[in-house]
A = this chain, B = another copy of it.
Amino acid sequence: MISIDYKDRRPIFEQLVDKIGDLAAKGLLAPGSQLPSVRQLAMELSINPNTIQKAYTELERRGVIVSVKGRGSFVSEDTASLKNDRIRQIKDGLAELVRQALILEYPQQEFIEEAKRLFEEGGESRS
């Protein structure tokens, strides 16, 4: 379910944050369910526990998970915050892109049409 891509130039902990954030947002990690422990996940992925810890800490900061000393880490039961976390990232990325488009005078209409095209193209290939 959770894997890391060593070809990806982003730091490992960031890949983990994104991956777990996605799974939680889509409900594939049930709200309230327990995540693998820091040590266990570190073993599974053959990476250092500190790196997992860093990812979990960031996820907790974002309200995606809650960690309790001595008990473990759990997916947040506040389902709204699960999705909001990811949607905010999309909106931030979009704002940056539009900023670039305005600088280049890339017309709004083409931008929107490209977006629509990508949505339909992506939508088709889904099972």
Question: Which chain A residues have a beta carbon within 8 Å of chain B's beta carbons?
Answer: 6-7, 9, 11, 22, 25-26, 61, 66, 68-71, 77, 83, 86-87, 89-91, 93-106, 108, 111-112, 114-116, 118-119, 122-123, 126
Q: Which of B22, B89, B108, B115 contacts A111 (CB 8 A)?
A: B115
Given contacts A11-B70, A68-B6, A68-B9, A106 and B90 within 8 Å (CB-CB): yes
Instruction: Give the interface SS of chain A, mostly helix, strand, loop or mixed.
Output: helix
Instruction: From A93, A102, A105, A118, name the one whose CB has the most chain B CB atoms within 10 angstroms.
Output: A118
In whole angstroms, how far apart are the Cα atoms of A96 and B90 in the complex?
A: 10
Q: How many copies does the complex hold?
A: 4
Given contacts A71-B6, A119-B98, A119-B108, A22 and B90 within 8 Å (CB-CB): no
In whole angstroms, how far apart are the Cα atoms of A111 and B108 in the complex?
A: 14
| CB nearest neighbor in B for A58 | B61
Instruction: From A98, A101, A106, name the one whose CB has the most chain B CB atoms within 10 angstroms.
Output: A98
Q: Which 8 A-B pairs have the closest CB atoms?
A: A98-B118, A108-B119, A102-B122, A93-B97, A86-B104, A25-B104, A95-B118, A90-B100
